[in-house]
A and B are shown apart, each in its own frame.
Chain A
């Protein structure tokens, strides 16, 4: 495996040593594709909502969940972007301890957010099959929750690798990748929160 990596590095070196790395470009286009996926979900949600008139539809006799608790949860997720940012900054200066702490803290905050979401799911007055309101609610928040879950796993992998000393000042692309991914997931949540709870 490691020999293959060195070959990729060679290829990269032969072509354009300057500018952003291949991986950076790859992540940008991957996240662009992810953004389109969420845009589709939001568009589908708005389409059904506009056509239903009242929201949740009057026949379902539901009220939308209160934004207060989820709002606090949102703040926790947003706050997690800061340790992520500082972790990535730390490793560019060669501060491996700062990296480990930052990654761990980010993963912890992400896990707290997931806990909050699970609590909310259990205590909601409606389920995914109650009506179209429940369908949209659980799909939009659920797909995001799945992304956060993946992000936390990704963070934990980087955390363990950081503990093992895999990253150095010059070689830490996984940290950059998880940082981009995490900020993206945060940004998507702001839009989803505003769409599903506030709008």
Chain B
């Protein structure tokens, strides 16, 4: 077998040390993009469960009025860690993991450009994640919200040294001391904020290194014939995302550094009493934070653009528009950050600018939606689990996108900012959008990663639990926000009209949890079955399905030559190959 030859060659080339025979050491020291990708995916999933448990804590606390399920301190830690982990330790590493696994396969390469920097990126992520997880164990988890606004995060050197004594005193004395300290610019004396700043800096550096790796891989290592306009759309979106990461994450690193300097070197960047400015933090954070939103969603767009055509039996409609609208979103995402700050009193002209740019960015996003709809239109649709997740993604992402346009209108934003309306909006983007795209991708590529197809019946059960759970959890939150419920409140009195909606929302969260359990069970049973998946179980179009499932160590026996955006279609249908036609084909007959 050609595969075995390749494997032997690999062994000879590498001269593996003897201790590499232990699988755990082989995994720890691996520089193989596929193993690192899988490590990312598993790590991210563990943190998904952790942050999901925190979400359940939040929803349980809010299920009924005047509830006392957890104490307010733990509640603050729960919503902060839920947001921080879901973004930085779940969605970003998931995209990085799938990017690591799939980008070299999709572009017909044997590995990434910098395998060891790739490895460093993973281990920095592991360190950052460990810092966050340990902070929960020692009871010093970040508790200032995932965007950690100054001056709440501020402390002075004197109060940091006193904090130890404050913590050891009786509760009333501690509260009195804390409020007195707050008057002197000491609002967060514990380790909590430091954990947040250090962990996010480490994770930021990890993402920057990984992005550099992706960019160079995609620029330099494409298979012969794969021009930039023949790249799979997932690769396109990973390229745009990588550029967003190297240009956006330094803002977060800079902000977190200044915060640490304020806290530990006695500096005054964000302290108004010394001519510093708390708003500077918001500018620094959101000039990272808004590109971050697109870092979270663009790879999902890419996955959807891979999955919809395959299960519609058609090429993507308007390939170039889907690709270049992603680039347009990338550029525009750097011009919208202050729409998070309308309520702080920006100059009118700034409000007008950021309101307009936030509406404009909906245009390239809408272009993609219409491309996807046109891709499905009159297609030969197969309702597999990945396709169900992809279709639900379109529906729900439209809801999230439209509520985003609503809050870009300044007067509306004044009314609903920091209310549950905003919570509903970004969960429709990140949960109903990104996470659905992610699960579509998991079901779609699982056979490639493991050699086994996930069970379709359990998969569909998972899908319906997620679909119902997501909409039941987050749709009522729109109404809650309009009724005036602020985000992050610990509890609320009855009689405000919030009770039944909150109860519905909490029930939805439990249904989501059931969905996760079904998924884990599906994974558990599937992974124990023999690896019988064929090379191309979905009748797909792109190069990762040319090689075996799972691929051999060097991915391809022979690097394929690419003549169109659907190289595998060309291989399977030589007489109807895309490169023979000038215009993209219309409805495609099943082979």
Contact residues of A with B, CB < 8 Å? 3-4, 6-8, 10-12, 14-16, 19, 22, 25-26, 29-30, 32-34, 36-37, 39-41, 44, 47-48, 51-52, 57, 59-60, 128-129, 131-132, 134-136, 138-139, 143
In whole angstroms, what is the CA distance A143 to B269 when docked?
15
Known: A14-B110, A36-B250. Is A128-B275 also a contact (CB below 8 A)? Answer: no
Number of CB contacts from chain A to chain B under 8 A: 129
B247 near A33 with CB under 8 A, answer yes
6 residue pairs bridging A and B, Cβ less than 8 Å apart: A40-B287, A47-B280, A51-B275, A129-B267, A135-B276, A143-B257
Partner of B14, one of A3, A25, A26: A3
Beyond A40-B254, A48-B275, A139-B261, whether A3 also contacts B13 by CB under 8 A is: yes
CB under 8 Å from chain A, chain B span 542-591: 559
- A41 in contact with B115 (CB, 8 Å): no
> How many B residues face the partner with a CB closer than 8 A?
50
Other-chain residue from B14, B113, B208 in contact with A33 (beta carbon distance below 8 A): B208
CA A44 – CA B589 in complex, angstroms?
Answer: 59
Known: A26-B114, A29-B212, A135-B261. A129 touches B266 (CB 8 A): yes
Is there contact, CB below 8 Å, between A135 and B280?
A: no
In the assembled complex, B450 has its CB within 8 A of some CB on chain A: no
> A34 near B267 (CB under 8 angstroms)?
no
Asked if B111 is an interface residue, CB under 8 A from chain A, the answer is yes
The majority secondary structure among interface residues of chain B is: helix
- Residues of the A chain whose Cβ atoms lie less than 8 Å from the Cβ of B559: 14
- Chain A residues with CB under 8 A of B216: 22, 25-26, 29
Query: Given that A4-B31, A44-B280, A128-B261 are known contacts, is A26 also in contact with B212, CB under 8 Å in the complex?
Result: yes
Minimum CB–CB distance from B49 to chain A (whole Å) comes to 32
Do A7 and B267 touch across chains, with their CB atoms under 8 A apart?
A: no
Q: Does B525 contact A (CB under 8 A)?
A: no
Instruction: Check if B488 is an interface residue, CB within 8 A of chain A.
Output: no
| Contact with B249, one of A12, A33, A132, A138 (Cβ below 8 angstroms) | A33
Give the nearest-CB partner of B223 in chain A. Answer: A15
How distant is B568 from chain A, measured CB to nearest CB, in Å?
Answer: 21
| Chain A residues, Cβ within 8 Å of B213 | 26
B457 adjacent to chain A (CB < 8 Å): no
Known: A129-B266, A131-B274. A22 touches B250 (CB 8 A): no
A30 to B212, CA, bound (A): 7
Q: When each residue 260-282 of chain B gets 1 if its CB lies under 8 Å from chain A and 0 otherwise, what string results?
A: 01100111110100111100100
A16 to B216, CA, bound (A): 12
Q: Are B269 and A44 in contact, CB atoms less than 8 angstroms apart?
A: yes
Q: Is B283 an interface residue (CB 8 A)?
A: yes
Residues of B225-269 whose CB lies within 8 A of A: 246-247, 249-251, 253-255, 257-258, 261-262, 265-269
